[in-house]
């Protein structure tokens, strides 16, 4: 990490002109079933949250293990397993995970039992599985992978930190294939607490979420995993050209986006696509609307949080969406557009702006 010279209070991860980094496979467990289902009939939700549509985990995980796994571990393990299957089950040199909240259900269970049993006769299982690195560790155990394994807990840039680590390993020759992902879940108690701060709409509707011009968003959750390689494969979905993330930047974000595009020698045009992180909250959406009238003017723009909800690692869903859009040449909501290049811009709570640049292979 390096210090941004604009102010001593701003920390920014260095920009990654990723060189040759390819997304060979991408898989997500989310409120939407599949990419094809999202195109044809996106699932609609009302209320204050979007919950994942979970698969039959016995197709991915040994049934003897399933009963000991909490929901987030099952989501992460299944998404990672299916992602590797889609890539042809390559040997992975690293497993890197990003999560802001970790295993909330196990944490809740352990703390509840501490109170109920007066801190005596506690089973260690819930505590062991409550740590943030449990998802990545469980994936490694299932794969019998003894290589590099790391988990990043960086709030709204957790997923980006995981990707940057994987990109760095490949650039340094430490890895040829990396499994990287982001995962976060909703549980009743954490959702109730966040609701008290007015983060979520009481009567939200994904059909009208974006542009609703009211306070609050709809909570989301999900697990998205990617097989990254530094060598092009015939079945690669997309090429990841650059990635940059900031923390509370002092400079105007339009300037930072312009610098990012200039550094990567990109001029967005009508054949390109921008995916933005509008979430339905009036204050947040004004931020994105201003950019669409300036730096993104004249470019096709779509949003994605009406499909997955708002959560710290939601940019993983956006990357999954972009990779499949480039691979299939189809964009949800924009019939006839087959982009060759996609820019993703997400700014979680307007503190963690991140930029991704992808190209078709």
Name 229's bridge partners. Answer: 22, 177
pLDDT tens digits for range 115-156: 888 877 777 777 777 789 999 999 999 999 999 999 999 999
C-beta atoms surrounding 123 within 10 Å? 11
Radius of gyration of the chain (CA): 20
Percent of the chain with pLDDT over 70: 95
User: 14: pLDDT confidence band, cut at 50, 70 and 90?
Assistant: low
Going from N- to C-terminal start, the domains of the chain cover 2-359
d(CA 275, CA 253): 16
pLDDT at 302: 98
Indicate whether 101 pLDDT > 90: yes
Indicate whether 346 pLDDT > 80: yes
Place of tokens 């393990």: 77
- With beta carbons less than 8 A apart as the criterion, state whether 317 and 356 touch: no
pLDDT at 5: 40
| Contacts for 190 with CB less than 8 Å, ≥ 6 apart | 101, 104, 108
d(CA 51, CA 180): 22
pLDDT tens digits for range 316-339: 999 999 999 999 999 999 989 999
| Cα–chain center distance at 117 | 37
pLDDT at 19: 67
d(CA 215, CA 317): 23
Indicate whether 285 pLDDT > 80: yes
- With beta carbons less than 8 A apart as the criterion, state whether 296 and 274 touch: yes
Top CATH class of 2-359 equals: alpha beta
pLDDT tens digits for range 254-266: 999 999 999 999 9
End-to-end CA distance of the chain: 30
Please compute the mean of the pLDDT values over residues 190-205 and round it to a whole number: 93
- Own/partner contacts of 109-114, CB < 8 Å, gap of 24 or more, are 109/70
Q: For 95, what's the count of Cα atoms within 13 Å in the CB-facing half-sphere?
A: 25
Q: For 296, what's the count of Cα atoms within 13 Å in the CB-facing half-sphere?
A: 21
* Total residue count of the chain as it appears in this document: 361
Indicate whether 11 pLDDT > 70: no
């Amino acid at each position: 990490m390096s210090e941004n010279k604009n102010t001593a209070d701003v920390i920014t991860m260095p920009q990654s002109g990723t060189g040759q980094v390819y997304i060979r496979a991408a898989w997500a467990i989310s409120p939407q079933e599949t990419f094809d289902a999202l195109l044809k009939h996106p699932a609609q939700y009302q209320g204050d949250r979007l919950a994942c549509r979970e698969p039959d985990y016995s197709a991915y995980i040994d049934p003897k293990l399933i009963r000991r796994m909490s929901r987030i571990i099952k989501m992460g393990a299944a998404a990672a397993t299916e992602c590797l299957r889609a890539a042809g089950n390559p040997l992975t040199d690293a497993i890197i995970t990003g999560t802001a909240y970790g295993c909330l259900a196990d944490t809740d269970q352990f703390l509840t039992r501490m109170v109920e049993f007066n801190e005596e006769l506690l089973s260690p299982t819930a505590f062991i599985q409550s740590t943030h690195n449990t998802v990545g560790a469980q994936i490694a155990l299932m794969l019998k992978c003894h290589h590099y394994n790391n988990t990043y807990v960086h709030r709204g840039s957790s997923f980006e930190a995981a990707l940057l680590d994987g990109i760095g390993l490949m650039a340094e020759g430490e890895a040829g294939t990396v499994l990287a992902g982001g995962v976060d879940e909703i549980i009743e108690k954490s959702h109730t607490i966040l609701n008290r701060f007015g983060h979520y709409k009481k009567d939200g509707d994904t059909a009208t979420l974006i542009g609703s011009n009211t306070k609050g968003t709809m909570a989301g959750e999900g697990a998205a995993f990617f097989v990254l390689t530094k060598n092009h494969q015939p079945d690669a979905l997309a090429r990841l050209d650059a990635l940059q993330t900031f923390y509370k930047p002092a400079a105007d974000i339009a300037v930072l986006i312009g610098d990012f595009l200039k550094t990567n020698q990109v001029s967005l045009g009508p054949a390109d696509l921008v995916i933005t992180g509008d979430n339905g909250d009036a204050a947040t959406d004004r931020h994105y609307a201003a950019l669409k009238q300036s730096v993104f003017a004249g470019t096709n723009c779509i949003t994605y949080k009406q499909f997955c909800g708002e959560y710290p690692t939601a940019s993983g869903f956006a990357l999954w969406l972009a990779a499949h859009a480039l691979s299939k040449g189809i964009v949800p909501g924009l019939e006839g557009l087959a982009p060759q290049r996609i820019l993703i811009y997400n700014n979680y709570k307007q503190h963690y702006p991140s930029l991704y640049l992808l190209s078709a292979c």
